[in-house]
Amino acid sequence: ELRDAVIGFFQPKVLQGKKLLITAGPTFEPIDPVRGLTNLSSGKMGFAIARAAQEAGAEVTLVAGPVHLDTPAGVRRIDVRTARQMFDAVLPLAPEHDVFVATAAVADWRPADVSDAKIKKAPGRDVPVLELVENPDILAAVARLARRPYCVGFAAESHDLARHAREKLQRKNVPLVVGNLGPATFGRDDNALLLVDAQGEREVPCASKRALSRVLVQEIAQRLASRS
């Protein structure tokens, strides 16, 4: 851990003077005071990227869903629970950042009605049906801003990763989408990434999330430099 901190300290400062905003973790969409919809994202990838960006000299703001992870040193953290809270935290901050990295596994839908009291199971009572409504799309909203940061999307897919990642790139109108085979990697400490942009695809082979994060930060910094 000390060795790692030393390596971190000596990372090239490729994001010096840049401000990076990142979302991480799942969201939790309440059904009633105790239940909710969520997903298996651990937040580890996002926290690792926040750390790598900070080590690369960036000023980092991390908007985190409900996770059990320590805040990386030097990173400003804002905790939220739902997709709408994440949207409300991110949108006002986005225009003042140079880079926005959307790693959070934001719930696409939330229950249409939230019960104030715990929904009771009772003999003879019908099993409830959950009606869902769509959540706001945080990444697409940031990408539509007039003063928009360089936007990086994440695609966690169970199949057809390259195709889904490229679709996301076009649909959300962002310059870079990072694909990972989510269900196989959620909660794990290692991963493999597929970088998809207008130029093509690049695979970053399986490594620790920390190592992958450093590669990704370099890739983002290069694209940022070649753009300006």
Nearer to its own copies, 5 or 133 (CB): 133
Catalytic residue selected from 39, 135, 180, 191? 39
162 is a contact residue toward its own copies (CB under 8 A): no
65 is a contact residue toward its own copies (CB under 8 A): no
x/- letters, 132..151, toward its own copies (CB under 8 A) = xxx-----------------
Segment (H or E) for 201: strand 200-208
Nearer to its own copies, 187 or 200 (CB): 187
The edge-to-edge listing of strands for the beta sheet with 19-24 is 76-79, 59-64, 19-24, 99-102, 150-156, 176-180, 190-197, 200-208
Q: Quick one: which of 66, 53, 59, 60 has its CA closest to 25?
A: 66
Cα 7 from chain centroid (whole Å) = 24
Active-site residue, 180 included: no
Burial class (CB in 10 A: 0-12, 13-18, 19+), 181: middle
Sign of CA dihedral 96, 25, 213, 7: positive
19 is a contact residue toward its own copies (CB under 8 A): no
| Span of 24-32, 45-53, 172-180, 191-199 interacting with its own copies by CB under 8 A | 24-32
Tokens of 181: 């085979």
Alpha carbons 62 and 49: distance in angstroms, whole number: 10
| Span of 8-16, 45-53, 88-96, 108-116 interacting with its own copies by CB under 8 A | 108-116
3-state secondary structure of 66: coil
Nearer to its own copies, 156 or 174 (CB): 156
222 is a contact residue toward its own copies (CB under 8 A): no
| Span of 93-101, 122-130, 172-180, 200-208 interacting with its own copies by CB under 8 A | 122-130
159 is a contact residue toward its own copies (CB under 8 A): yes
Residues that bind its own copies (CB under 8 A): 28, 31-41, 68, 105, 107-109, 116-121, 127-134, 156-159, 164, 182-183, 186
